[in-house]
Structure 1
Amino acid sequence: MAVAPSSGNRQWLPYTAAVTAGLVVIAGAFLLVRGQDQDPGRPRADCTVTLEVNSSTEKAALVAGLAERYNSADRTLDGGGCARVHVTALTSGKATEVLAAGWTGTGLPRPQVWLPTSSLWTGQLRLLDQAAGRPPQTPDRYPSIANSPLVIAMPKPKADLIRQRGALGWGEILGLSGREGWAGFGKPEWGRFTFGKDNPNLSTSGLAATIATYYAAVQRASDLTRADLADPKVTQFVRRIEANVSHYSDDVVDLLRDHAEADLAGGGASTDDLSAVVMQEELVHLYNEGELSPKGDGEQRGRKPNVPLVAIHPKEGTFNLDHPYVVLPTADERQRAAADDFLTFLTDKDQQAAFADLGFRDHERRAPDELLASVGTEPTGGLTYFDPPDPGVVDAMLDGWGTLRKKANILIALDTSGSMEAAIGNRTRFQVASAAAAKGLALLNPEDRVGLWSFSSETSQRPDGPYREEVRLGDFDRKKVTSRIANLHVEGSTALYATVRAAHRQLLDRYDPDRINAVVVLTDGKNEYTRDNDLARLLADVALDPERPVKVFCIAFDRDSDLATLDRIAKASSGKAFDATDPAMIDEAFVKLVSSF
């Protein structure tokens, strides 16, 4: 979850989905402390002070490695003695939630130091504390241990063309191309201009991108107000930018990994409809260094992409993810001394070099030459940074974003084959799936257009074909869709390919260029329909048309699901497959899915 619950009526995505909140986990060897000659050695055994540190997930392995180095160093605290630092990890959103709830239910030691991705989180925790009538845990502004500004990342040929126009702003890059697309830049063969961003309800970078858009709209770098949010010129500006979103991501790293795989397979040719992605600068560096590319056996990193990404900095300025170092009220006097010493250690040049190796700027926002060489130069005179808005303004912004975001046409295809009768505890697979679907429907925008199909194979209930329209694609009637799901009959085998093909064709026939157009498939099995079992033809049929992108999103439900094939189908359309092969994860999978719309 990105921010605190509003006092209004906004439907908030469950905090249990916070596995994707903040900057996502970037697994792999590059999270280790690389490029350093120092040997951590053995930790000292005579230290009586323990300092518990909880870090956001994207830098947790790095901070843990640096803590090991600290524990092995010959350091003495003010007043004598030494400390041992222990690091745990939670996403920033989850940590905000549990700090507000008294740090219960995590199974992790309560921290004295918190390292979220952004000071946005300290503001949201302050809101939660105020709402509960207790003293704030995060009343201050805090020093940074690293920084990563938000950028518009584009493939180099497109970035080079954009830069020929000189300094451009958020609206000029992301909001003015629209249907004219790249023809306005003399490249009609590049098609429409669309971009990707994370859903701000799940992601720190997605939230930062939304804040940056509002600041660009008011043409200021500070003091964003509630009155600004209600200004029709501001809402029109934001709506124009959101209209060019291809689809919202729950995990920009997954998007970049798919892009890297397609780059290497196609010799650099793009297979998706994205002209740009709004994300943190750090990830541009990791992508260009091959850290997000497929890795071979024994390789620590993949091949560098054929076409690198370039970071573009809009002329109005950008938002910075400041990675604050927060000492919490739970720290006693000796732990505060240890926290001060660990902060000094983290901001020393050797440790800052480890952050730089992952693409971060240093604690004073300075970019190493190697980073700029990897991601592209910044404007003469440096970057302009937007100040974090008041937490209450952020909350109100997200209340309003639901009405400004791009709307969707969503056709849901729900597997009703006989295997859905299999038991999961004291319920059937179908009961678990339909309950998760109902929760997911509650998170959709009321202005979305939604249809429902059921599919299995020809049965006595469905003699004319393997799929049936249960609710016609149209204005979203949540009660009608939920009721129809609850009354579906389970029987037959799984006609997966025929259903995906037909659903995709229907959305092409009813394509709306002003909406995200998507097929959502929920299945517990693999294709068992002999009349249509040609996967290669299906992949060709659903292959993305950048001019009319219809994307397929799949949830592989239960271990009998053919996740590998569903992933191929989704990737062919530039969609995504979500792994709920452990049925306990299906609610989380639906939250991730809904964040795409």
Structure 2
Amino acid sequence: MRLDFKSAHTVKQYGLTVFTWSLLCLLMLTACSGQDTTNKPASPTKTTSSTASFQCTSKSSTPVTLNMAYSSEKQTWMDAVVADFNRQNITACDGPITVKATPMGSGQSMQQIVDGTIQPDIWSPAGNVWITLINAKWREKHGTDLISTGANDTPSLVSSPVVIAMWKPQAEALGWPNKAIGWSDIARLSTDPQGWRAYGHPEFGDFKFGHTHPDYSNSGLDAVIAMNYAAVNKTRALTAGDIANAKTRAFVTNVESSVIHYGDSTGFFADNMFKNGPGYLSAAVMYENLVVEANSGQIYKNLAYPVVAIYPKEGTFYSDHPFTILQNSGMTPAKKAAALAFRSFLLAPAQQQKALQDGFRPANPQVQLTAPLDSAHGIDTSQPKTLLQVPNADLVSAIQDNWNQQRRLVDVMLVLDRSGSMNDQINGASKIDGAKQGLTEFVKLVGDQDQLGLTIFSTQTDILSPVSILAPKRQDILSRINGILAIGSTRLYDTISEQVQKLQAMPSKHIKAVVVLTDGQDTSSQLNEDQLVRQITARGENAGNSVKVFTIAYGSDADQTALTRIATATGGQEYAGNPQNIREVYNQISEFF
């Protein structure tokens, strides 16, 4: 599944939004913002302030609850400041305000808001581009904007440059910090058959790169746009011809050739990179604050090496985390006043100082850039030197379309438990029918040139279709899924082992993954859990290129602890599924490819 950008109008320039404002009281609120439209480095500078007051037409003691969806990159900060806010019983027009905040990917939350799946009062995506996109989609359905985009309406809460995080010894092998590093270096490393050996470091193995899926994640979208700019040596005024030319296509394909997998969460990449070391990932696109977090020693106490932020020499973007109030039917005057009060609270020096301690650059210029925003934590606050201009929406759509042809392909084996217990029901829904619907969803999302196979197991294992190019057999796979019946016991561990070994033996240079759904515990394997985990654990200097196993614990009888351990050992992820959410689970897993 991919997001449709074709209907969006001009996309805003990413840049650091800066503020000058004073807190007169909770009902006298300021939010001045300035968009950087040059290629000069963005740094906090004071701008002329203005004030905007909100007048209550009536007051009551009725409590107000605000629902907020925000980009997950700032979850640590938001968890702390929301808890602080809720403890203070702050009021605006009505009674005490309570904020319920949910972290979500920017693309995912945008689509769910448009679809009506979620109806937050406040939305804070990772970047301003998502505001333009959601307004365009909302206008298509309702004829009006969902978010007001006046000068004071969408202030930045915090900001963080989009960087390439790299292990310090590997960055030094490329010439850092004396030599500027950028996308051209990544493209060269990705395609050099000698890998790190070409730089005198055979012990580093292959170059292993990562970025999130550009249809769902802000950092992934930024990365792919930046690659297109770098290919034609531009920082602004990208054209359709630039995107379509053979040089650009080859450049992006070269960078993508070293990607170990995609995904919808920048934090997931960071966590896997910092926990698993340079054998898993050499470098990944993420936010500056995550580099600060990695080097702080609080979360990753056994970091293999220090991590440094590479600010691509060709240019990059700021993730500026705007605060927006949605103008939907549920927005009342009391809620708007409460939202403004909460916004004022977040921009106050105390909360901005907490954001700085989490590695973000504060939006409030009263808060100085001090430790941990320093070289000791792997970053450089004088960077980035060059900011890129986000192309208009039609060009973004073209970049996305091309990326779907340029991305690294995948070899994936779908594995389904069809033991007798799959005939049971959960909340009135058949487990086997739900699982087949989820598999069908996944098969429809996989690209024509990707390779896919289908295996079922109970007392024995049956390969219904080996891993091969999907395009000519898509309908056959869908028919085979529809005909699956549930019977027998559960040969789980042996089946996973066999399919991982088969994928490892395939000569292709694609991303390789096993996606397995089970509703119970193993009853028929020769291998036990420990033996399986030892066998499939990603290890060595090229661990990142090993087969990833994604597991789905389908219902409460599945051994979620064992499935989590199996997935984690390979660099994959475990999901909890049921007939009601299984299609969404398979959809989420597809975002890794």
State TM-score, norm by structure 1: 0.78
Tell me how many residue pairs correspond in the alignment: 523
Residue 339 of structure 1 and its aligned partner are, at CA, apart by: 6.6
Q: Structure 1 292/245 Cα, relative in aligned 2: closer, same or farther at 3 Å?
A: same
Q: Call closer, same or farther: CA 1:374–1:212 in 2, change over 3 Å.
A: farther
Residues 1:505 and 1:196: Cα distance change in structure 2 (over 3 Å): same
Distance in 2 of aligned mates of 1:275 and 1:574: 14
Cα offset, 1:572, TM superposition: 2.5
What is the aligned-residue RMSD (CA, Å)? Answer: 3.4
Q: 1:319 to 1:528 in 2, by over 3 A?
A: same
Query: What's 1:149 paired with?
Result: 161
Q: Give the secondary structure class of the aligned counterpart of 1:149.
A: strand
CA distance in 2, matches of 1:340, 1:62: 19
1:288 aligned onto 2:301: no
Identity percentage of aligned residues: 31
Picking from 87, 93, 99, the partner of 1:87 is 99
1:553 aligns with 2:571: no
Q: 1:237-292: per-residue Cα shift (whole Å, max 9, x none)?
A: 11111111001123343344445555xxxxxxx38431112111122222333454
Q: Is the 8 A contact 1:412 1:451 kept in 2?
A: yes
Question: Displacement, 1:379?
Answer: 7.8
The separation in 2 between residues aligned to 1:379 and 1:67, in whole angstroms, is 29
> What is the distance in 2 between the residues matched to 1:48 and 1:489?
55
Distance in 2, matches of 1:594 and 1:455, equals: 22
CA distance in 2, matches of 1:539, 1:284: 30
Give 2:220's aligned residue: 206
In 1: Cα distance, 2:133 partner to 2:564 partner: 36
Asked if the contact 1:288–1:304 (Cα under 8 Å) also holds between the matched residues in 2, the reply is no
Alignment of 1:124-523 (within 5 A): 124-132=133-141, 134-138=143-147, 139-140=149-150, 142-164=154-176, 166-178=179-191, 179-262=193-276, 270=277, 272-293=279-300, 303=301, 305-329=303-327, 346-363=346-363, 367-378=369-380, 382-457=384-459, 466-476=460-470, 477-513=473-509, 515-523=510-518
Shift of 1:428: 3.0
Name the structure 2 match of 1:64. Answer: 82
Opposite residue 64 of structure 1, the aligned amino acid is: V
User: Counterpart of 1:589?
Assistant: 585
> Could you say if the C-alpha distance between residues 82 and 2 of structure 1 is closer, same or farther in structure 2, counting changes exceeding 3 Å?
farther
Moved more, 500-509 or 270-279: 270-279
Q: 1:335 to 1:250 in 2, by over 3 A?
A: closer
**How much does 1:204 deviate?**
1.8
Deviation at 1:383, TM superposition (A): 3.2
For the 8 Å contact 1:66–1:351, the answer to whether it is kept is: no
Contact 2:292–2:372, Cα closer than 8 Å, also in 1? no
Distance 1:220 1:411, change over 3 A: same
Structure 1 residues 487 and 48 mapped into 2: Cα distance closer, same or farther (>3 Å)? closer
Alignment-mate amino acid for residue 580 of structure 2: A
Q: How many Å apart are 1:149 and its aligned residue?
A: 1.1
- What is the CA–CA distance in structure 2 between the aligned matches of 1:191 and 1:336, rounded to whole Å? 55
Deviation at 1:467, TM superposition (A): 1.6
* CA gap 1:86/1:94 in 2 versus in 1, 3 angstroms: farther
Closer/same/farther in 2, CA of residues 152 and 83 from structure 1, 3 Å limit: farther
Give the aligned residue type for 2:356.
A
Contact map agreement 1:53 1:85 (CA 8 A) in 2: no
Give the residue type in structure 2 aligned to 1:128.
K
Q: 1:206 to 1:343 in 2, by over 3 A?
A: same
For residues 389 and 189 of structure 1, do their structure 2 counterparts lie closer, same or farther at Cα, with a shift above 3 Å needed? same
Q: 1:332 to 1:388 in 2, by over 3 A?
A: farther
Residues 486 and 166 from structure 1, CA distance in 2 versus in 1: closer, same or farther, beyond 3 angstroms?
same
Asked whether the equivalents of residues 544 and 573 of structure 1 are also in contact (C-alpha less than 8 Å), the reply is: yes
TM-score (norm 2): 0.78
Q: Structure 1 residues 509 and 336 mapped into 2: Cα distance closer, same or farther (>3 Å)?
A: closer
Partner of 2:55: none
Pairwise CA distance, 1:219: 2.4
Kept after mapping to 1: 8 A contact 2:64/2:334: no
Aligned residue number for residue 122 of structure 1? 131
C-alpha distance 137-252 of structure 1, shift in aligned 2 (>3 A): closer
Say whether residues 1:579 and 2:576 are aligned partners. Answer: yes
Give, as a single letter, the amino acid of the residue that structure 1 aligns with 2:233. Answer: Q
Question: CA 1:210/1:415 → structure 2, altered by over 3 Å: closer, same or farther?
Answer: same
The residue matched to 2:260 in structure 1 has which SS?
Answer: strand
Please state if 1:563 is matched with 2:560: yes
Q: Which runs of 5+ in 2 are unaligned?
A: 9-58
Aligned mates of 2:418, 2:338 — CA distance in 1: 58
Q: Structure 2 counterpart of 1:470, which letter?
A: L
Deviates more, 1:468-477 or 1:322-331: 322-331
Q: Whole-Å Cα distance in 1 between the matches of residues 566 and 325 of structure 2?
A: 47
Task: Encode CA deviations 1:99-146: one digit per residue, 9 max, x unaligned.
Answer: 546xx554x6x63x5432210111111221343472333445643221
Name which of 502, 506, 530 aligns with 1:536: 530
Unaligned runs of 5+ in 1: 9-44, 263-269, 294-302, 458-465
Contact 1:452 1:470 survives alignment (8 Å):
yes
Cα distance in 2 for partners of 1:370, 1:413 equals: 45
Distance across 2 between alignment mates of 1:323 and 1:346: 12
